[in-house]
A = this chain, B = another copy of it.
Amino acid sequence: MPPPAKPLLQRQTVTAMVAEYIAAKIIGGDYPGGHQIRQEAIAAELGVSRIPVREALLQLEAEGLVVIRTHRGAVVSDLSADDAIDLFDARLLLEPFLVKKAIARMSNQDIANAERALQDYEAAISRGDPKELSRLNWAFHTALLEPSMRPRSMAVLQTLYSSADRYLRLQIEPLKAQTKALQEHRDIFAAYRLRDAVETSRLLKKHVADAAEEIVSQLKRGEAAV
């Protein structure tokens, strides 16, 4: 019999835990853009060695959350307005395309999953926790696209999203924007449920474009302010 202190069903590697930890800090805004991440500090903080920290940082670099320069450590990657345009333009191409593919293949179960994600998002608005809201927002998008059965494109989208995610929180925060996003989600889902690929795609595209415009203008104000 093994001595399972806790790994009953969940067998997680330390590297993965550290990666989640750091990613949460970045996305949550605790580590702002440009912040230098010291391996030893993280290692001491979590009571682990530097090796898993290094490997976690490598993964995060692949996701675009940090930038590693040789012998100079990892820095939380900052987003310029140009970067945001870059990222969102790619999303604007991929998401409408994928949602069409998804509608062509989806089952009733998939529709139910998307509805559930929509309801979760809706329920979270009243609580108003930005991190949770951001997570559920993306969960809804993911639920819409999942039936497309395009794991590679989904992986790409994941990195595109997480690279801009923490800046989106600013946009999501105002209550007006939240309710606007919720209404858009509802409209998208309504068309989705009816398997209206063209309309769903159009609405989704507009939804993403609106978010893009909002975040870009915010970033530009921020850059001008500096």
**What is A's interface to B at a CB cutoff of 8 Å?**
11, 13, 51, 54-55, 58-59, 61-64, 70, 82-83, 86-87, 89-90, 93-94, 97, 149-153, 155-156, 159-160, 163
Contact = CB atoms under 8 A, between A and B. Distances in A.
A72 to B, nearest CB: 12
Given A51-B51, A93-B93, A86 B13 contact: no
Copies in the complex: 2
A13 to B, nearest CB: 5
A86 B55 contact: no
The interface residues of chain A, by DSSP majority, are classed as: helix
Contacts of A155: 64
Nearest to A149: B82
A83 B93 CA distance: 19
Contacts of A83: 151-152
A152 B84 CA distance: 9
A93 B87 contact: no
A94 B90 contact: yes
A163 B152 contact: yes
